[in-house]
A and B are shown apart, each in its own frame.
Chain A
Amino acid sequence: MTTLTQTASHIGIITRRNLLRNIRLPQLLLFSTVQPVMFLLLFNYVFGGSIARSIPPIFGDYINYLLPGIIVQNVVFAATATAVGLTEDLQAGVIDRFRSLPMARSAVLAGRTFADVGRAAFVISLMTAVGYLIGFRPLNGFFSLVLAVVLALGFGYSMSWVMAWVGLKVKTPEAAQSAGFLPIFPLVFASSVFVPTSTMPSWLASFAENQPVTVLANTARALILGDAYIAGEPHLAASGATIGSLVLLSLAWIIGIVAVAAPFAVRSYRKTVE
């Protein structure tokens, strides 16, 4: 029998093992942090000037609008690491080794998704710090900023389960990389992550406003910038959203995605490895 403590310990061991890889292969961490920071700087300085004209001026610079969004973009991008990491372990035979041990069955997938969220947490902290240096200010206080980051990480965690499923379906790291990004690009770009949805054609806006990445970006923004953000965003104001209702909606998405994706991933895992 595997006890609950043993299971927790196995998950911890596998999580640590997966995280260690980022520390021991410094170029891995370097490139996975340089890229998001570069995105932040490019969007802020290249598009910021023209995007700023279409957002309410009450939040100050575009960076205040951008940073909450780009945090969400990042956790979603970071989730693709789950697909890639799993396929690499599958190919290397590491998963066979783990499965031949009398360890908790859940530890491989749980350890993988936890580690990838852990890495995302690091990247986001770094990005927030860089954002601060170039003018970002959490207008609604530190606690709300932390809550926004935690929610974003929760969303990243749910996307990790989607990516676990993708990886187990495609089976090779190369395919996992491209297949993982396929659903992510439309979700991230047809959203309020970088620009207000009000500038999009109405058919696209109605998609964008109702998909989870926008929900999370709006929630992060409402938390970080305060009620004024909701007031300045016509479709949010019209729907009578509050910070509380946005947080609940975000939680619902997170739980919903995990509830759907995790069983698929687990089933795929069993089928792939057995």
Chain B
Amino acid sequence: MTDIIVQADNIVHTFGGTVRALDDISVSFERGIIYGLLGPNGAGKTTLIRVLTTLLKPDSGSAHVAGIDVIQDAKGAREKIGLAGQNAAVDGYQTGRENLIMVGRLYNLSKRQAKERADDVLERINLTDAADRQVMTYSGGMKRRLDLAASIVGRPEVLFLDEPTTGIDPRSRLGLWEIINELVADGTTLLLTTQYLEEADRLATRIGVIDHGKLIAEGTADELKTQVGGDVIEIHTGDELASVADALRRGSIAEPIINTARKTVTIPAPKAATSLLEAVRVLDDSGIEVHDIALRRPTLDDVFLTLTGKATEETPVPEKSKGRRSR
């Protein structure tokens, strides 16, 4: 039997009567994993997190976190959760340590307990050296780390991180990933949202793809990739994306997907090399110039494009970090 720790059922939330930010969405996952919520801008990621962290009462639907109904018993739920929102909500004029002590005190820790807890947490997120500097002197990455620290002061059972690494350089991102993995190793359950596929791919045990307030796919990274149907053919072309796509469509190999940002057209390749040959023939017949055409394993990017029709953000990841995370 799996121990479900977060369960949201049929959540609907509308802003201003028109924007259906959450459209009958249901999500659930078990204790001890990292659940990655992946979606483009405006998909509803933040709104879902706000519902699960008691900040927003949805129009309808129900949600339980660590066995507590977050809508009926917000106060109870707050004892179990930690939240690091999309902005680093830390005070610039306080030191890192003071920020954490303040949060500890708000959890009703005594002054001494709050200090000790702040020390523990600072060590865990590698901020001990900068602990006594005002936060306004911190880099963006350090602020995010401190914000993460503040969210674990209360030893939450479930931690919600809304785009924890957005706007952070690749090295700091790696540091944060490490911390996140350690937290999970210590038994915290995590829900994180991201627009970066690489991040979901490397961190998340399970990924939910969200778009227009709906969960449109779910599974492990590998499961999602196989949804695209095996290998894909990627065609690099200059400004002829549309004509390449037209030609492929006429050749009726498969429905092409255009990525304007990367100037590529991809199509599923169900018959692998045979499909590739077909594609080459079709393009050759139509006389369109292509820079490169190749067969490759699908990435989450392809999954995302296939599912949402939208490209995701590029993840700048340093070379040495490439390669799959073992699970």
* In the assembled complex, A24 has its CB within 8 A of some CB on chain B: yes
Known: A96-B55, A96-B89, A100-B53. 11 other contacts (CB 8 A): A6-B108, A17-B91, A25-B93, A92-B89, A93-B88, A93-B89, A96-B85, A100-B54, A101-B103, A102-B75, A274-B56
Chain A binding surface SS class = helix
B53 and A20 within 8 A (CB): no
The residues in A between 1 and 50 inclusive whose CB is less than 8 angstroms from any CB of B are 2, 6, 9-10, 13, 17, 20-21, 24-25
Using known A-B contacts A92-B87, A100-B53, determine if residue A20 contacts B93 with beta carbons closer than 8 Å.
yes
**Which residues of chain B come closer than 8 Å to A103, judged between CB atoms?**
106-107
**Which residues of chain B come closer than 8 Å to A13, judged between CB atoms?**
102, 105-106
**Which residues of chain B come closer than 8 Å to A17, judged between CB atoms?**
91, 94, 102
**Nearest chain A CB to B172 CB, angstrom units:** 19
Count residues of B near A (Cβ-Cβ below 8 Å): 29
* In the assembled complex, B164 has its CB within 8 A of some CB on chain A: no
B107 and A94 within 8 A (CB): no
Q: Which single residue of chain B is at the shortest CB-CB distance from A99?
A: B55
A21 and B102 within 8 A (CB): no
The residues in B between 83 and 98 inclusive whose CB is less than 8 angstroms from any CB of A are 83, 85-89, 91, 93-94
**Which residues of chain A come closer than 8 Å to B202, judged between CB atoms?**
none
| Chain B residues engaging chain A, CB cutoff 8 angstroms | 50, 53-57, 75, 78-79, 81-83, 85-89, 91, 93-94, 102-103, 105-108, 134, 150, 154
Inter-chain CA distance A101–B82, complex, in Å, is 8
**Nearest chain B CB to A166 CB, angstrom units:** 21
Q: Which single residue of chain B is at the shortest CB-CB distance from A21?
A: B93
**Which residues of chain B come closer than 8 Å to A99, judged between CB atoms?**
54-55
**Nearest chain A CB to B206 CB, angstrom units:** 23
**Which residues of chain A come closer than 8 Å to B85, judged between CB atoms?**
93, 96-97
Cross-chain pairs A/B with CB under 8 angstroms, 11 sampled: A9-B105, A10-B106, A20-B93, A20-B94, A21-B91, A92-B87, A98-B106, A101-B78, A101-B103, A274-B55, A274-B56
**Which residues of chain B come closer than 8 Å to A93, judged between CB atoms?**
85-89
Using known A-B contacts A17-B102, A100-B81, A102-B75, determine if residue A94 contacts B91 with beta carbons closer than 8 Å.
yes
Inter-chain CA distance A173–B134, complex, in Å, is 23
0/1 interface trace, chain A 61-86, chain B, CB 8 Å (1 if under) = 00000000000000000000000000
**Nearest chain A CB to B255 CB, angstrom units:** 41
Inter-chain CA distance A186–B124, complex, in Å, is 55
Q: Which single residue of chain B is at the shortest CB-CB distance from A2?
A: B75
Inter-chain CA distance A17–B101, complex, in Å, is 11
0/1 interface trace, chain A 92-114, chain B, CB 8 Å (1 if under) = 11101111111100000000000
Q: Which single residue of chain B is at the shortest CB-CB distance from A103?
A: B106
A100 and B83 within 8 A (CB): yes
**Nearest chain B CB to A260 CB, angstrom units:** 26
**Nearest chain B CB to A112 CB, angstrom units:** 14
Inter-chain CA distance A103–B150, complex, in Å, is 14
Inter-chain CA distance A103–B102, complex, in Å, is 12
Inter-chain CA distance A103–B81, complex, in Å, is 13
Interface centre among A10, A24, A100 (most CB of B within 10 A): A100
0/1 interface trace, chain A 150-170, chain B, CB 8 Å (1 if under) = 000000000000000000000
**Nearest chain A CB to B67 CB, angstrom units:** 16
Using known A-B contacts A21-B91, A102-B75, determine if residue A97 contacts B105 with beta carbons closer than 8 Å.
no
Q: Pick the residue among B55, B83, B86, B134 that contacts A24 (CB under 8 A).
A: B134
Inter-chain CA distance A273–B54, complex, in Å, is 10
Inter-chain CA distance A97–B103, complex, in Å, is 9
**Nearest chain B CB to A186 CB, angstrom units:** 33
B94 and A100 within 8 A (CB): no
Using known A-B contacts A13-B105, A274-B56, determine if residue A101 contacts B91 with beta carbons closer than 8 Å.
no
**Nearest chain B CB to A1 CB, angstrom units:** 8
Q: Which single residue of chain B is at the shortest CB-CB distance from A1?
A: B75
Q: Pick the residue among A20, A101, A274 that contacts B106 (CB under 8 A).
A: A101
Q: Which single residue of chain B is at the shortest CB-CB distance from A18?
A: B91
A273 and B105 within 8 A (CB): no
Q: Which single residue of chain B is at the shortest CB-CB distance from A23?
A: B93
Inter-chain CA distance A21–B93, complex, in Å, is 6
